[in-house]
Structure 1
Amino acid sequence: MQHLTQQQIRMDDVPLNRFHLKIAGLTFGAHFTDGYVLGVIGFALAQIKPQMGLTPFWEGMLGSSALIGLFFGSLILGWISDYIGRQKIFCFSFIVITLASALQFFATTPEQLFLLRVMVGIGLGGDFSVGHTMLAEFSPRKHRGVLLGSFSVIWTFGYVAAGFAGHFLTALGPDAWRWLLSSSAIPAFVILLMRIGTPESPRWLMGKGLHEQAMAIVHKHFGPNVLLIDEAPVMSKQRFLSLFGTKYRRRTAFNSLFFVCLVIPYFAIYTFLPSILQVMGLNQNFSTDLLLNGLLIVGALMGIVLTVICSRRGFLIGSFVFLAVCLAMLSLIPASQTAWLIAIFAAFTLVMSAVSNLVGVFPAESFPTEVRSMGVGFATSMSRLGSAIGTGLLPLAIVHYGMPTTTAILALILVIGAIVSIAWAPETKGLTLVDAAQGQQPVNSTFAATAK
């Protein structure tokens, strides 16, 4: 390990500057687009269903199409980026998103629309794995949790924007769904232009043995006295299967399973929110959407605060337990108890939005540089596969088993998430990126106490 002089500072400890905020902003743009893409489909389906005569199968497939693409994009593009670099995928992903989003306007069959939304999802999936990785590798440890967790707030703003767009655009005519779905090309194109010229991750360059190039980027953006230390001089040639070897399999299992158990209920419920509220006997109108969207935003902001003041591990486990209890109560309370249903669903929405911040934190902090994009990509792909399956099956489950039983199944998934987190969740708060990836415990007494 290198030793620092009085004038030197490690990259993990540099003060937050404009470059950090720029990388964060470019990463957040992807999450805004993702929230928007996944939010508009519920409104678009209301018009597409009678026009194309959608069966419950195709309704589920279109609802889950972007999630299916996210599975493949996270898995494949995350793996590729560990070999060719972060920056190339950082730009390529938004070329795919922009083109596929715009082409949705011309879709005439469910099959065409499904394929285009899968392509949008592939771009978003690749960006999730690479964007989180780049942000983690550039961020100082003091602010890393907030920066990585804040994407949930931006995602929520994208989802809320989709709700407003859905309400106003679908009133313009029977083909308004075309404008609604293709409108995601606008933010995607803006983000693509802004990402041109983004530097490569110096940690990735250092791992490839390109020390001079890595330090040139560090000195340009953080100062001549900043050192990038604790990184292996040459990255070992890790293969995808190394994620399941003795060294990484526990962190791979934890990040994949907790991520899956959180997002299955999230996407299953909110993709088909209008239909679910109708089955629950609640009215779906602009006021209801405004209330739920407000709770999503407040919850996401609350999640940032909790990420700062709470242990990562405690926040995750407590949220899983609370959410499971909420869904269990929703499955048992009769539809006539409207006030109770609204209060519990509001509490569920608030906490679900808050804890969703951690899906951007844990995976990026759990893997070392040599497999970080692969690890983050695999965890994200598993979550999107689970979400796609859950979203695709939800309409069929409601028809065959009813809402109470379906809600109870989702509660059971959250219980599994709590068990996995109790068994395997690490405490990464307060650690350098290298120490967190190596599974070390915080040395600060406050952090150590919260991890117990």
Structure 2
Amino acid sequence: MANTALPSRASIAGRLDELPFTRRHLRLLTGSGVGWALDAMDVGLISFILAALTQQWGLTKTDAGWIASVGFIGMALGATLGGLLADRLGRRQVFALTLLIYGIATGASALVGGLAALLVLRFLVGLGLGAELPVASTYVSEFAPARIRGRVIVILEAFWALGWTAAALIGFFVIPASDDGWRWAFALGAIPAVYALIVRWGLPESPRWLASRGRIAEADRIVSTFETDAGVVPEPAIRREPPSRAIAVTTRARLTTLWNAEFRLRTLSLWVVWLCVNFAYYGAFIWIPSILVDAGFDLVRSFGFTLIITLAQLPGYAVAAWLIEVWGRRSTLSIFLVGSAVSAVFFGTSTTETAIIASGMALSFFNLGAWGALYAVTPEIYPTSLRGTGAGWAAGIGRIASIIAPLAVPVLLVAGGAPVLFAVFGACFVAAAVAAWGLVDRRGEALDDR
């Protein structure tokens, strides 16, 4: 008689961790990564569109700051809700829904005729975008083999550089081409609405999440497809085991558990890192094109400088992807944050074209490498039943800083110009580097599947 016993949750997790990297892993990474790149393109586009609209609509710096910040308000709400929904409804469903929301809202932004309508749509864009990023990193981390999990997530984050580079190219070639160039830029951002359908039907649900919900047979089928691709024959299950009790099963329980004795330090440290990195990154990169225009460079030239600076993101990710499995998560994250701090100070005091580009490229290199390490470590420090909530709330709390940053930049520029502004950003990076040592480093270890 054939053995029909179901595997345990532990065996599902173990089989995932022991797999080699297969074509299915690559398809899943690429599918999630393209969504990530499209997200980055949307966030990047607004930095170039702000510079154009400030001239075309005669916006004040406060108006421009609100266009950026209202999107981050939506991102804060989206990240917290997206994480909770991902733990409740599944990773793939929420991933596809968020892409659809922000893709449609971005396309609609191309039709606006005034500031009020643009603010409403930017909020909706942020709502979808904020939910997508922590859900995507959680989703991919739950498929990745343990020995290369950090590297896979940094590679996922590297798609951000591709998206931001696409935004810089659109900013350089499309936006200055006509008065309606910014409208065409928004229209290109509607691509994710189509891509959402591909995600929904083309990618599997996380087996770890399915197993945590007691859907062992579904989880087993998905893992088996990966094993077939890899030519791996799993040992037959010898007993039927009910799913182990999740560490938290209700929304309120999940939120409370983030602050129990086991998770309190890592949650506090993670939130501090997310707050500081968001403030410094979005304060700098949303405003760099406008700061360069204010420094006397014309629109096309400032966009060209920004494009060159953006290209340094890719080697930053590549180095972080290698080091994260050599040095570990915390060391890689903290060292890249210190590099970001030093680069920020030099950028703020640079006056020549060569110095601006060199320090800007260094800032781009270190800061985006740090982002890769942060997204790698975030989902790893919580168990499966809490992973989406923990990652989502860290991202959501971080977005509070990204809301404040675009509004604080004009104030800091008036107070002391670029040197003071980027010194503040440098201090934020240092604070994040210190807080990183309160995180748990799970390099090479299995995920906690409670």
Q: What TM-score range do you get, normalising by the shorter chain?
A: 0.7 to 0.9
One-letter code aligned to 1:316: L
Of 163, 166, 169 in structure 2, the residue corresponding to residue 158 of structure 1 is: 163
Q: Are the counterparts in 2 of residues 312 and 429 from structure 1 also a CA contact under 8 Å?
A: yes
Report the alpha carbon displacement of residue 328 of structure 1 after superposing the two structures with TM: 3.3
Q: Map residues 242-261 of structure 1 onto 2, 5 A cutoff.
A: 242-261=257-276
Aligned to 2:440: 426
Report the alpha carbon displacement of residue 230 of structure 1 after superposing the two structures with TM: 12
Q: Distance in 1 between matches of 2:186 and 2:138?
A: 28
Q: Percent identity?
A: 26
Of 174, 191, 197 in structure 2, the residue corresponding to residue 192 of structure 1 is: 197
One-letter code aligned to 2:146: R
Gaps of 5+ in 2: 1-6
Q: For each residue in 1:376-427, what CA deviation from the matched residue of structure 2 results, as whole angstroms up to 9, or x when unmatched?
A: 10111122221221123212321243222222211111121122123x1332
Residues 202, 234 of structure 1: alpha-carbon distance in 2 compared, 3 angstrom cutoff: farther
Q: What's the TM-score once normalised by structure 2's chain length? A: 0.87
Aligned to 1:178: 183
Q: Are the counterparts in 1 of residues 270 and 436 from structure 2 also a CA contact under 8 Å?
A: no
Residues 222, 68 of structure 1: alpha-carbon distance in 2 compared, 3 angstrom cutoff: farther
Aligned to 2:331: 314
Q: Map residues 17-166 of structure 1 onto 2, 5 A cutoff.
A: 17-166=22-171
Q: For each residue in 1:62-97, what CA deviation from the matched residue of structure 2 results, as whole angstroms up to 9, or x when unmatched?
A: 123332222111101211221122222122112212
SS at 2:325's partner residue?
helix
Of 322, 337, 347 in structure 2, the residue corresponding to residue 305 of structure 1 is: 322
Residues 89, 226 of structure 1: alpha-carbon distance in 2 compared, 3 angstrom cutoff: farther
Q: Are the counterparts in 1 of residues 8 and 243 from structure 2 also a CA contact under 8 Å?
A: no
Residues 242, 93 of structure 1: alpha-carbon distance in 2 compared, 3 angstrom cutoff: same
Gaps of 5+ in 1: 439-452
Residues 194, 214 of structure 1: alpha-carbon distance in 2 compared, 3 angstrom cutoff: closer
SS at 1:214's partner residue?
helix
Report the alpha carbon displacement of residue 173 of structure 1 after superposing the two structures with TM: 1.6
Residues 267, 231 of structure 1: alpha-carbon distance in 2 compared, 3 angstrom cutoff: farther
Residues 183, 65 of structure 1: alpha-carbon distance in 2 compared, 3 angstrom cutoff: farther
Aligned to 1:364: 379
Of 278, 287, 292 in structure 2, the residue corresponding to residue 263 of structure 1 is: 278
Residues 9, 326 of structure 1: alpha-carbon distance in 2 compared, 3 angstrom cutoff: closer
Q: Distance in 2 between matches of 1:184 and 1:399?
A: 33
* 1:13 paired to 2:24: no
Q: Are the counterparts in 2 of residues 208 and 234 from structure 1 also a CA contact under 8 Å?
A: no
Q: Are the counterparts in 2 of residues 313 and 425 from structure 1 also a CA contact under 8 Å?
A: yes
Aligned to 1:442: none
Residues 343, 45 of structure 1: alpha-carbon distance in 2 compared, 3 angstrom cutoff: closer
Report the alpha carbon displacement of residue 45 of structure 1 after superposing the two structures with TM: 1.8
Report the alpha carbon displacement of residue 243 of structure 1 after superposing the two structures with TM: 1.3
SS at 2:444's partner residue?
coil
Q: Map residues 248-397 of structure 1 onto 2, 5 A cutoff.
A: 248-278=263-293, 284-285=301-302, 287-331=304-348, 333=349, 335=351, 339-397=354-412
Q: Distance in 1 between matches of 2:204 and 2:10?
A: 25
Q: Distance in 2 between matches of 1:86 and 1:259?
A: 22
Q: Distance in 2 between matches of 1:302 and 1:83?
A: 35
Q: Distance in 2 between matches of 1:2 and 1:47?
A: 57
One-letter code aligned to 1:432: A
Residues 73, 141 of structure 1: alpha-carbon distance in 2 compared, 3 angstrom cutoff: same
Q: Distance in 2 between matches of 1:225 and 1:394?
A: 56
One-letter code aligned to 1:430: G
Q: Distance in 2 between matches of 1:412 and 1:390?
A: 14
Report the alpha carbon displacement of residue 287 of structure 1 after superposing the two structures with TM: 4.7
Residues 227, 184 of structure 1: alpha-carbon distance in 2 compared, 3 angstrom cutoff: farther
Q: Are the counterparts in 2 of residues 316 and 355 from structure 1 also a CA contact under 8 Å?
A: yes
Q: Are the counterparts in 1 of residues 289 and 306 from structure 2 also a CA contact under 8 Å?
A: no
Greater shift, 71-80 or 82-91, is seen at: 82-91
Aligned to 2:234: 225
One-letter code aligned to 2:414: V
Q: For each residue in 1:97-140, what CA deviation from the matched residue of structure 2 results, as whole angstroms up to 9, or x when unmatched?
A: 22112211221221211221221121122221221111111111
SS at 1:429's partner residue?
coil
RMSD (Å), alpha carbons? 2.8
One-letter code aligned to 1:324: A
Report the alpha carbon displacement of residue 227 of structure 1 after superposing the two structures with TM: 8.6
Q: What's the TM-score once normalised by structure 1's chain length? A: 0.87
Greater shift, 114-123 or 363-372, is seen at: 114-123
Residues 276, 227 of structure 1: alpha-carbon distance in 2 compared, 3 angstrom cutoff: farther
One-letter code aligned to 2:439: A
Report the alpha carbon displacement of residue 232 of structure 1 after superposing the two structures with TM: 5.5
Report the alpha carbon displacement of residue 10 of structure 1 after superposing the two structures with TM: 2.4
Q: Are the counterparts in 1 of residues 214 and 242 from structure 2 also a CA contact under 8 Å?
A: no
Residues 396, 227 of structure 1: alpha-carbon distance in 2 compared, 3 angstrom cutoff: farther
Report the alpha carbon displacement of residue 297 of structure 1 after superposing the two structures with TM: 2.1
Residues 340, 231 of structure 1: alpha-carbon distance in 2 compared, 3 angstrom cutoff: farther
Q: How many residues align?
A: 431
Q: Are the counterparts in 2 of residues 280 and 403 from structure 1 also a CA contact under 8 Å?
A: no
Q: Distance in 2 between matches of 1:430 and 1:72?
A: 33
Q: Distance in 2 between matches of 1:300 and 1:3?
A: 33
SS at 2:113's partner residue?
coil
Query: Where does structure 1 differ by over 6 angstroms across 4 or more consecutive aligned residues?
Result: 1-5, 226-231
Q: Are the counterparts in 2 of residues 295 and 350 from structure 1 also a CA contact under 8 Å?
A: yes
Q: Distance in 2 between matches of 1:31 and 1:3?
A: 29
